[in-house]
Chains A and B, each alone.
Chain A
Amino acid sequence: DAGVIQSPRHEVTEMGQEVTLRCKPISGHDYLFWYRQTMMRGLELLIYFNNNVPIDDSGMPEDRFSAKMPNASFSTLKIQPSEPRDSAVYFCASSFRQGGQPQHFGDGTRLSIL
């Protein structure tokens, strides 16, 4: 079975540019999560969706960050404009239902903003 697929795996861009990260969840999973991982702050939940609807975006750091889920098999996380402090590894995860079903993670996008 295909796991959670994220693209690109690596992204290097200059500050001020728009960055778009993509995620394809596991088929049939109805929850999708975006996380950010840094050495300083560890793993942070940015936003999660249920049935394509954003449920909690309280972890989104600023208005420069936005996330969409136009359908059950695709989600994007955009940063515009990007800043060097946005450099991190961004993970997407999905799960089936809630109430304790484990989340399955993609391999992440390593983002470097110069």
Chain B
Amino acid sequence: GEDVEQSLFLSVREGDSSVINCTYTDSSSTYLYWYKQEPGAGLQLLTYIFSNMDMKQDQRLTVLLNKKDKHLSLRIADTQTGDSAIYFCAGFFTGGGNKLTFGTGTQLKVEL
């Protein structure tokens, strides 16, 4: 089946850029998403990208998609302490039926 992988932890200094990476095995992705989960809360949709796009920018967030390498990244510019959370990438893959496949999540810690 589909596999979506992320590194578990990332630590950055406030004001720096954060780059959270995600790789997937199924090349038949259609839509790919980034969600943010703060402690005690649900998953909040941050942004998403269609598989026919290479890049999408939304204020401080930039999503890059490399379909050849099956690699998705989320860049957060000028990272703030409020950005500390767990970030999940997720995707719809043709082989996965109508289910959204989630990565394991990356815990982002922003230090002063």
The chain A residues found within 8 Å of chain B, CB to CB, are 4, 31, 33, 42-43, 45, 48, 55-56, 91, 93, 98-100, 102-108, 110
Do B99 and A45 have beta carbons less than 8 Å apart? yes
Quick one: which of A100, A106, A110 contacts B92, CB cutoff 8 A?
A: A100
Closest to B92 in A: A100
Give 19 A-B pairs besides A98-B98, A99-B92, A105-B44 with Cβ atoms closer than 8 angstroms. A31-B98, A42-B105, A43-B88, A56-B97, A56-B98, A91-B42, A99-B30, A100-B31, A100-B50, A102-B31, A102-B45, A102-B48, A103-B45, A105-B35, A105-B42, A105-B43, A105-B45, A107-B42, A110-B40
17 pairs, A vs B, C-beta closer than 8 Å: A31-B98, A42-B104, A55-B98, A56-B98, A91-B42, A91-B43, A99-B30, A100-B50, A102-B33, A102-B45, A102-B48, A104-B45, A105-B42, A105-B45, A107-B40, A108-B41, A110-B40
